[in-house]
Amino acid sequence: MATEVDLQAALAHAIEWAQTAGTMIKQAWRSDGVTIEYKSSIDLVTEVDKAVEDYIMAQIKKTYPEHAVLGEESASAQGAYSLEAVPTWCVDPIDGTTNFVHHFPFSCVSIGFCIDRTPVLGVVFNPILNELFSAVRGGGAFLNGEPIHVSAATSIDRSVISTNVGFVRDAAGIEFILENMKALLTHNVRSMRSLGSSALEVCLVACGRIDAFYEFGIHPWDIAAAVCILREAGGVAMDPDGRPLDLTRRRILAAAPGLIEPISQALNTHPPFLPQ
Ligand code: IPD
Ligand code: CA
């Protein structure tokens, strides 16, 4: 049987790691000399992503040697990953790397912790705007220590909905992305956003600044932490097709409860670029 984890103690550690990581990100943000590598011509990674991941991974291994870890840059280097039921930390050292490279102030470090493949702790910190979102299961959700809650929206025409275009650029993928935007526009959506950090966008749903976020193509490290924060803020995170959320199925609909059904019904949930 897995050892019981003290989630409040783990949260204190995760906040400390996120703040140190945030200092690393903010210092680099101010300099112009960050080295960029290309996973593809449009998918970037910097020396800062790697340094932050190395730092957080070392802290986790020192503090919780019995836990599993899943980090974006180590998983990308290995070319494959899995998320098992054992206690697992899901780390995105910089979510919003393109924003970071372009000095668009919307990047964060994201530290999530899952048990039984379910997020039970989340810390998402944007050091540029100094906004730290946090939650543990059953304890409520917070922005810089103040409680947060999702919006009361129930209809698309009174909602602001965010999505990201990801890294798919073939014709069928582009068509799919545009088809879903068109569906929401046809439902007279109040407005749409695309802010380039799925972790932060799910947190924006959690604090009611936007009403929903969806994306096809994300990974567990992008959303694990933010899903815990969203659920503790009264929001719903699920598969856009209505199934329970599976962090490895690479898709999410995160919304105020009253919007889940209308958005799920409006979207095409069969992206040609993901396994069905
Ligand atoms: C990405 C961002 C982006 C989303 C991608 C993610 P990264 O993470 O969250 O908004 O569209 O799916 O991979 O590459 O900046 O860590
Ligand atoms: Ca990243």
Residue 152 Cα to ligand 2 midpoint, Å, equals 31
- Measured from the Cα of 94, ligand 1's closest atom is 16
Positions in the chain short of pLDDT 50 = 1
Ligand nearest to the CA of 199: 1
Annotation says 222 is catalytic: yes
| Other Cβ atoms closer than 10 A to 266 | 16
Residue 180 Cα to ligand 1 midpoint, Å, equals 19
Annotation says 201 is catalytic: no
Given the residues 25, 56, 60, 97, the one annotated as active site? 97
Given the residues 25, 94, 156, 260, the one annotated as active site? 94
Annotation says 95 is catalytic: yes
pLDDT value, residue 262: 98
Given the residues 53, 201, 211, 222, the one annotated as active site? 222
Given the residues 72, 73, 201, 211, the one annotated as active site? 72
- Measured from the Cα of 222, ligand 1's closest atom is 9
pLDDT value, residue 3: 62
Query: Does the pTM exceed 0.85?
Result: yes
Q: How far out from the chain centre does Cα 258 lie? A: 21
Strand pairing of 118-126 and 108-115? antiparallel
Give phi and psi for 60, each to the nearest 5: -65, -45
Torsion, Cα 125 223 193 230, to 10 degrees, reads -80
Name beta bridge partners: 238.
Answer: 244, 253
Ligand nearest to the CA of 196: 1
Residue 53 Cα to ligand 2 midpoint, Å, equals 9
124 contacts 138 by C-beta, under 8 angstroms = no
Residue-wise pLDDT for 155-183, tens only, equals: 999 999 999 999 999 999 999 999 999 99
pLDDT value, residue 116: 97
Residue 120 Cα to ligand 2 midpoint, Å, equals 21
Q: Which helix (H) or strand (E) holds 46?
A: strand 44-46
Torsion, Cα 155 222 35 54, to 10 degrees, reads 150
Name beta bridge partners: 172.
Answer: none
| Other Cβ atoms closer than 10 A to 72 | 24
Residue 95 Cα to ligand 1 midpoint, Å, equals 6
pLDDT value, residue 144: 98
> Residues lining ligand 1, CB < 6 A?
72, 92, 95-98, 164, 166, 196-198, 215, 217-218, 222
